[in-house]
Amino acid sequence: MIPQSILQCSVVIPTYNRAEELRKTLSSLAGVRVSRLWEAVVVDNNSTDATPLVVRQSGKDFPVELRYVFEATPGRSAALNAGIKAAHGEVIATTDDDVRFEPDWLEQAGDALERETCDFVGGKVLPIWEAPKPRWLSEKGGPHWSVIALLDFGPEPVEFGKRYAPLGVNLAFRRRAFERAGFWNPGIGRKAGTLLGQEVREWMLRARDAGLKGMYVPQMVVHHVIPKARLTRRYFRRWFYWHGVSRAMLFQQHPVDMRAPEESNLDFSKVPLLLGVPRYMYRSCLRSAVAMCKQKISGDPVASFEQELWLWFFFGVLSQRWKDRKQPLWARKQYEPIDWKGFR
């Protein structure tokens, strides 16, 4: 076992009831080439399948220490927090249990943190299709890609913020980033039975307030398995509805534009609300409805469906803002600096 004091990287993988997919992910992770000393931490978020057995079996031939952590509190954010607390590395990479890694993935992450002199980095997330890609799914990224957690901002590094935000499936942080910005918010992340998912953007807003810098680095590449069940219009509609719910929950804590949080430049204390929703969003909803009809008539299934999805997003926003109508806006939890002494 490598002494904790000299470990340089930790890879944290939250998982829930996907034992066989996790086995493939760990097999891929075992093939990465890393000059740094590292470890892997699998966080079992209340799985009822063979997840503990898979971790034990995979650990026998794993090239470094493969550790198992159990986290009873449901939700991806709670699992990530448990993994971060358990991690010993000065660099902490987070990913998912349905990912395949380029051999230099972890090396590229560590190099990029040094080269870009930043606090966290994220990279490309490319697809592994388990079924043919539907004709209504865009080839060029955009909001469709968010549904299935894909990302490609091109061949050059760019700073996160404004138009650019990372995906949690491919991120690496300096440990001090969590000391300054705090852990993931467990109230806004993915949970079983929902498609909530704004924990990355909520953390990004706190990171920005703490003066942290994040960079997209195209050399840091993972491949994300896209199951057939997610390649349906029904799934996309459901995801965008929950996306609206998630953004409304984010708005409850941060005064940001629900459609584009990174690009917010309005003073929301002065923006008029209707049923808890900024009035300009009703105009945007109407424009999307008109555009959807026009594009459907013109025979453009990609653009038409994209506009329809923004309607589902608006319905999710409206639903959650109505639920929160009696709650004070922007009375968000204060995240205290982390004392690592109890965790290391």
**Per-residue pLDDT for the chain (344 aa), expressed as one digit of tens each?**
544 444 599 999 999 999 999 999 999 999 999 999 999 999 999 999 999 999 999 999 999 999 999 999 999 999 999 999 999 999 999 999 999 999 999 999 999 999 999 999 999 999 999 999 998 888 777 777 889 999 999 999 999 987 788 999 999 999 999 999 999 998 887 777 788 888 998 999 899 999 999 999 999 999 999 999 999 999 999 999 999 999 999 999 888 899 888 777 788 889 999 999 999 999 999 999 999 999 999 989 888 998 999 999 999 999 999 999 988 888 654 444 444 444 44
pLDDT attached to residue 260: 85
Q: Are residues 139 and 281 in the same domain?
A: no
Q: Are residues 220 and 275 in the same domain?
A: no
Q: Are residues 156 and 47 in the same domain?
A: yes
Q: Are residues 269 and 215 in the same domain?
A: no
Q: Are residues 194 and 255 in the same domain?
A: no
Q: Are residues 84 and 36 in the same domain?
A: yes
Q: Are residues 265 and 305 in the same domain?
A: yes
Q: Are residues 196 and 56 in the same domain?
A: yes
pLDDT attached to residue 331: 64
pLDDT attached to residue 196: 83
Q: Is residue 142 part of a domain?
A: yes
- Number of domains the chain is built from: 2
Q: Is residue 330 part of a domain?
A: no
Q: Are residues 53 and 162 in the same domain?
A: yes
Q: Is residue 328 part of a domain?
A: no
Q: Is residue 171 part of a domain?
A: yes
Q: Is residue 122 part of a domain?
A: yes
| CATH assignment at residue 188 | 3.90.550.10
Q: Is residue 331 part of a domain?
A: no
Q: Is residue 211 part of a domain?
A: yes
Q: Are residues 117 and 155 in the same domain?
A: yes
Residue 164 phi, psi (nearest 5): -120, 130
Q: Are residues 83 and 145 in the same domain?
A: yes
pLDDT attached to residue 193: 75
Q: Are residues 222 and 241 in the same domain?
A: no
Q: Is residue 163 part of a domain?
A: yes
pLDDT attached to residue 334: 44
pLDDT attached to residue 320: 95
For residue 112, give its domain range. 4-230+336-342
